[in-house]
Amino acid sequence: MAVKKSGLGKGLDSLIPEKKTSGAKKTEVNKDSLEDAVYLDINKVEPNREQPRKKFDEDALEELADSIKEHGVLVPLLVKDRGDYYQIIAGERRWRAAKKAKLKQVPALVKDLTEQEIVEISLIENIQRENLNPIEEAVAYKKLLEEFHLKQDEVAERVSKSRAAVANSMRLLKLSEKVQQMLIDELITTGHARALIAVEDEEKQYAIAQKILDEKLSVRDTEKLIKKMSAEKKEKEKKEQYLDPQLDAVYKDMEEKMKDILGTKVIINKKTPETGKVEIEYYSQDELNRIIEMFQKIN
Asked if residue 29 has pLDDT above 50, the reply is no
pLDDT of residue 22: 34
The reported pLDDT for the residue numbered 121 is 79
- The lowest-confidence range among 13-22, 70-79, 108-117, 202-211 is 13-22
Between residues 22 and 138, the one the model is more confident about: 138
Phi first, then psi: what are they for 12, rounded to 5°? -85, -15
- What value does the CA radius of gyration of the chain take, rounded to a whole number of Å? 32
pLDDT > 70 in the chain, percent: 82
Confidence of residue 164 (pLDDT cuts 50, 70, 90): very high
pLDDT, residue 13, reads 43
What's the whole-number mean pLDDT along residues 266-272? Answer: 80
Determine the residue type at 184. Answer: I
Band of pLDDT at residue 27, cut at 50, 70 and 90:
very low
Phi, psi of 276 (to 5 degrees): 170, -160
pLDDT-derived band at 134 (thresholds 50, 70, 90) equals very high
Q: What is the mean pLDDT of residues 174-200?
A: 94
pLDDT above 90 covers a percentage of the chain that reads 31
In the chain the domains, ranked by start, together with CATH numbers, are 23-113 (3.90.1530.10), 120-238 (1.10.10.2830), 242-298 (no CATH)
210, HSE (Cβ side, Cα atoms, 13 Å): 8
Whole-number average pLDDT of the chain: 80
Number of helices followed by number of strands (H, E) in the chain = 13, 8
Q: Catalogue the active-site residues.
A: 92
The model's pLDDT over 287-297, given as tens digits with 9 standing for 90+, comes to 888 888 888 88
Query: Got the DSSP string for 36-92?
Result: T-EEEEGGGEE--TT-S-----HHHHHHHHHHHHHH---S-EEEEE-SSSEEEEE-H
Give dist(CA 87, CA 253) in Å, integer.
79
Collapse the DSSP code of 248 into the 3-class scheme (helix H, G, I; strand E, B; otherwise coil) and give the result. Answer: helix
Per-residue pLDDT tens over the stretch 68-123: 998 888 889 889 898 899 988 888 888 999 999 999 999 998 888 888 888 777 77
pLDDT over 70 at 18, yes or no: no
SS (H, E, C) 181-197: HHHHCCCCCHHHHHHHC
Residue 54, Cβ neighbours under 10 Å: how many? 12
Higher pLDDT, 209 or 158: 209
- pLDDT for 244 equals 66
pLDDT of residue 7: 36
What local confidence, expressed as pLDDT, does residue 86 receive?
93
- Helices 219-241 and 202-215 pack at an angle, to 10 degrees, of 140
Lowest mean pLDDT among 46-50, 160-164, 234-238: 234-238
pLDDT the model gives residue 142: 87
Q: What is the pTM for the complete model shown?
A: 0.55
Beta strand pairing status for 86-90 and 45-46?
parallel
Which pLDDT does position 221 carry in this prediction?
95
Reduced to 3 states, what is the DSSP secondary structure of residue 219?
helix
Highest mean pLDDT (candidates 20-24, 87-91, 193-197, 236-240): 193-197
Range from 86-90, 142-146, 166-170 carrying the lowest mean pLDDT:
142-146
